[in-house]
Every structure is written in structure tokens, then in C-alpha cells.
Structure 1
Amino acid sequence: MDNDPKHTSKVVAKWLKDNKVKILEWPSQSPDLNLIENVWAELKKRVQESRPTNLTQLHQLCQEEWDKIHPTYCGKLVEGYLKHLTQVKQFKGNATKY
């Protein structure tokens, strides 16, 4: 839950309440702690550099560039996670340098 309107709509709020889902408070615009978001951003950057002109090219480039993302890139994200999490905690969920 990131305070996006689609996550805070009355319908969603009712469903969550009816299903007894506990919601944690989360600051708006807080840093994303999901490491896959970094991988998606890297993929997007790589694909945009090739400037696909149609859906077929986009699909092909996504597959090619995904395969080129080396496991060490993901390993570095994991290694830096504790430092990132510590900073987020220090800044009480607000923006960090990451």
C-alpha cells in the first residue's frame, strides 16, 4: 500500500475491512524497498536506449535485455539492501539518496 488512490478507494477499503486485512501505515512517496523495482528500472533503461518502434520489437528487446542482466547486478542490489533499509529507517520512511 503506497497511498495510491487505487489502493485507498472505498471499494478496496471495504474489501480489506471485510476480509480483516491489517494495513500498516506507510508514508506517501516513500522509497520502494522492493528490489525487483530496481531491476525493472534497469530493464526499462536498456530497452529505451534501443528505441523500439512496435510491440514486436519491444517484446523482443525486453527478452534480450532481460537475459543480459547479469546475476551479479542482482547480487549487488541484495548486498546493498541492509544499508538502504537502514537509511529508510533513519529518515523515517521519507526519501533517501537511493
Structure 2
Amino acid sequence: MTAARDDGVSAVMKRVGQRYVQHVNRTSRRTGGLFEGRFRSSLIETNTYLLACQRYIELNPVRASMVSVPGDYRWSSHRANALGRQDSVVTPHPLYQGLA
């Protein structure tokens, strides 16, 4: 995710987290938090590290034995990134596209 503002990603994650907790609490008739810690992010400064992070994320469902190949995971960006399939929420990174 690339932020348009310095606090963009953090602000989005805060709102998403708050809404999700409210939804779970409302539907489960409970109160309180769901997550142990706060959202954290770190800057990816090199192209090598960017590709390593992308590979790590897209292979997580395979490592967790949820699917046998990355593209089979419903929420994966692998189909858009590696296979060039259209996805309304994914814009493939030019560096990744340059690997082809």
C-alpha cells in the first residue's frame, strides 16, 4: 500500500480497525478490544526489500497450508501482480511488472 499522505496508511488502518471492532462487538453483544497491539508499519526503502516483502505476503497462505499456490488464495494480489489479471483494488507495482 502506498500512502498519498504521510499518515495515510495509519489513518486508514485505524478507521478499518475501529469499524471492525464495532461490528464484532455489536454482532457478538460484547465490549472491549479485539487486538493486542496497535497497527505498526515500516518504511520499505529498497527495491530488493520491496520484492522480498511482496513475496513474503503472497506466499503466506501457501506456508499456512491454506492453498497450494498463491493465486488460489481469494484475497491474494498474486493474480494481478504475477498473472496480469485485472483487479479493481490492485495496481501492480512497476518494479514487479519489470520482472517479466
TM range (shorter): under 0.3
Higher fraction of helix: 1
Higher CA-based Rg? 1
TM-score, with length taken from structure 2: 0.27
TM-score, with length taken from structure 1: 0.28
Higher relative contact order (CA closer than 8 Å, sequence separation 6+): 1
